[in-house]
């Protein structure tokens, strides 16, 4: 009996660490991963993107943009960050390159903003010169007026990604205001969707042309603090990564007009005892994945794509802050969860992980979030 138990445990562990292939197929060995430091001495790097020429661009929450050139040279960009509101969880946050970056040199940030005594969160459009030395604001803001927690900066969001139609998605936090997630007229606790060229609501948004029903920018609602957005390669599927209260970090498959069930009004003004997806809300969409009774603080998300990743090809990776590592989810074609496991090379080895993002070169880029100018930008590749 003891031998059977040990064998069953070994088979279960093997299934959990390889993505549980279909019956009848051999279980491939997971690839070994090489982790190298691209840049260090950083302070809360928040997001990273890679251009077609191989240059990496990343930002830091307290303000600042840095480029890492293909030869490894790290150079700070000159950029105007006057008016940046950086307090607590809010500051210079999400960053993404325009799909037409090679021609227009445009990129976008989501950041806290202070102007004339008023504080908010805004999406700002920039251009960068071909030498990667100067960033210039060209639409400031592209989208403004997103509410912020003005005292401590709690639940500021704010992840940016382009969806398969070319619309810009903006994941926002609820600012610790109980009414925001379910209020479809508020831009907080939402995933917003806009035209990056004009800043106007994107065509096809669920409340577009229905001002009585909600804001035309709102794509989905009922979120607590959207910290990641990931587009599944070769599909129209977009997933959000959301931080829970004391329980229920979540990954959600987004559907236009969907309510993801967070309603923290409860017995008071901000009651975090309520479930992340409240089953009492009619039509609330269940999470694809949940951390269960305890949180690990998921943040950021990206899909691994490419045969070089072997059995890891197709995994959805999540950065883990409190739990310190990278969580991998294997999803089926519909987006339902099959298995989950941690990447061993990054499990507790580099502290808190803020962002995971596959680059245009196929490598995985990772930012840590330990503070005190002890953070790093890492490059992870299969060996």
In the numeric block, the tokens 């007009």 are attached to 257
Of the pLDDT bands very low, low, confident and very high (cuts 50, 70, 90), residue 383 is very high
Give the closest residue to 90 by CA, choosing from 158, 174, 139: 158
Dump pLDDT digits (tens) for 86-111: 999 999 999 999 999 999 999 999 99
Dump pLDDT digits (tens) for 47-78: 999 999 999 999 999 999 999 999 999 999 99
Percent of the chain with pLDDT over 70: 92
Sign, CA dihedral 121-277-274-182, equals positive
> Token digits for 59?
């930002």
**CATH class assigned to 28-382:** mainly beta
Residue 143's pLDDT is 98
Residue 7's pLDDT is 35
Least confident of 27-36, 136-145, 153-162, 170-179: 27-36
In the numeric block, the tokens 């910290």 are attached to 227
Strand partners of residue 310: none
């Amino acid at each position: 009996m003891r031998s059977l138990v040990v064998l069953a445990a070994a088979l279960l562990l093997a299934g959990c660490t390889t993505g549980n292939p279909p019956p009848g197929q051999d279980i491939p060995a997971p690839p070994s991963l090489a982790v190298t430091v691209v840049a260090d001495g950083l302070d809360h790097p928040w997001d990273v993107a890679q251009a077609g020429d191989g240059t990496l661009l990343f930002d830091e929450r307290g303000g600042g943009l840095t480029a890492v050139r293909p030869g490894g040279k790290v150079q700070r960009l000159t950029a105007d960050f006057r008016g940046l509101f950086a307090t607590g969880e809010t500051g210079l946050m999400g960053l993404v390159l325009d799909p037409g970056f090679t021609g227009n040199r445009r990129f976008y940030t989501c950041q806290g903003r202070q102007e004339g005594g008023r504080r908010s969160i805004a999406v700002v459009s920039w251009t960068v010169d071909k030498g990667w030395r100067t960033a210039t604001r060209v639409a400031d803001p592209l989208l403004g007026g997103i509410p912020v927690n003005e005292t401590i900066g709690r639940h500021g969001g704010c992840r940016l990604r382009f969806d398969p139609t070319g619309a810009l998605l903006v994941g926002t936090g609820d600012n610790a205001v109980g009414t925001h997630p379910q209020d479809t007229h508020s831009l907080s606790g939402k995933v917003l969707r806009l035209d990056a060229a004009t800043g106007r609501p994107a065509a096809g948004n669920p409340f577009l042309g229905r001002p009585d029903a909600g804001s035309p920018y709102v794509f989905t609602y009922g979120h607590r603090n959207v910290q990641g957005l990931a587009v599944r390669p070769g599909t129209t599927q977009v997933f959000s990564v959301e931080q829970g209260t004391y329980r229920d970090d979540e990954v959600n498959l987004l559907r236009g007009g969907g309510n993801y069930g967070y309603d923290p009004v409860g017995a008071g003004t901000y009651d975090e005892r309520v479930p992340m997806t409240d089953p009492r809300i009619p039509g609330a969409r269940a999470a694809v994945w949940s951390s269960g009774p305890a949180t690990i603080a998921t943040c950021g998300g990206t899909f691994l794509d490419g045969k070089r990743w072997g059995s890891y090809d197709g995994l959805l990776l999540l950065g883990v802050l409190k739990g310190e590592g990278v969580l991998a989810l294997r999803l089926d074609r519909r987006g339902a969860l099959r298995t989950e496991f941690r990447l061993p090379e990054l499990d507790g080895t580099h502290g808190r992980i803020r962002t995971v993002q596959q680059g245009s070169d196929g490598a995985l880029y990772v930012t840590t979030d330990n503070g005190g100018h002890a953070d790093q930008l890492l490059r992870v590749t299969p060996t």
